Amino acid sequence: MLLQLKWLPWITGLVLAALVAPMPARSVDPEAVRFLPDEAQIACRAILPACFTKAGWAELCVAQDDVRQAHPRACRLAMDKEMHNR
């Protein structure tokens, strides 16, 4: 039992180091605009592109000037896609 307790701080230190070690970053563009897939159900209630399909976001951008001003890039992307789909 004494031998096991002697190693406890060392093992605890390894476990904690593994938990706080920086994870390898995925190459994700923080400026990327993401939309829900067309077949997705409502995922959230926020007014953010990730909570809407492209078509839904395009409709919102057309209908609400404040959304268009707050998210110009996302509105541009959504409306461009929707114009090509018509």
The model's pLDDT over 15-65, given as tens digits with 9 standing for 90+, comes to 444 444 554 555 667 778 888 888 887 667 788 999 899 999 999 999 999
| pLDDT band with cut points at 50, 70 and 90 for residue 2 | very low
Domain count, the chain: 1
DSSP-based three-state secondary structure for 31: coil
Range 38-67 burial, b when 16+ CB lie within 10 A, else e = eeeeeeeeeebbebbbbebbbebbeeeeeb
| Structure tokens, 24 | 């390898």
The predicted structure's pLDDT at residue 20: 46
Say if 38 falls within a structural domain.
yes
Say if 9 falls within a structural domain.
no
Say if 42 falls within a structural domain.
yes
Q: What value does the mean pLDDT take over residues 6-21?
A: 51
Say if 67 falls within a structural domain.
yes
The predicted structure's pLDDT at residue 71: 96
Domain that holds residue 65: 34-86
The predicted structure's pLDDT at residue 37: 86
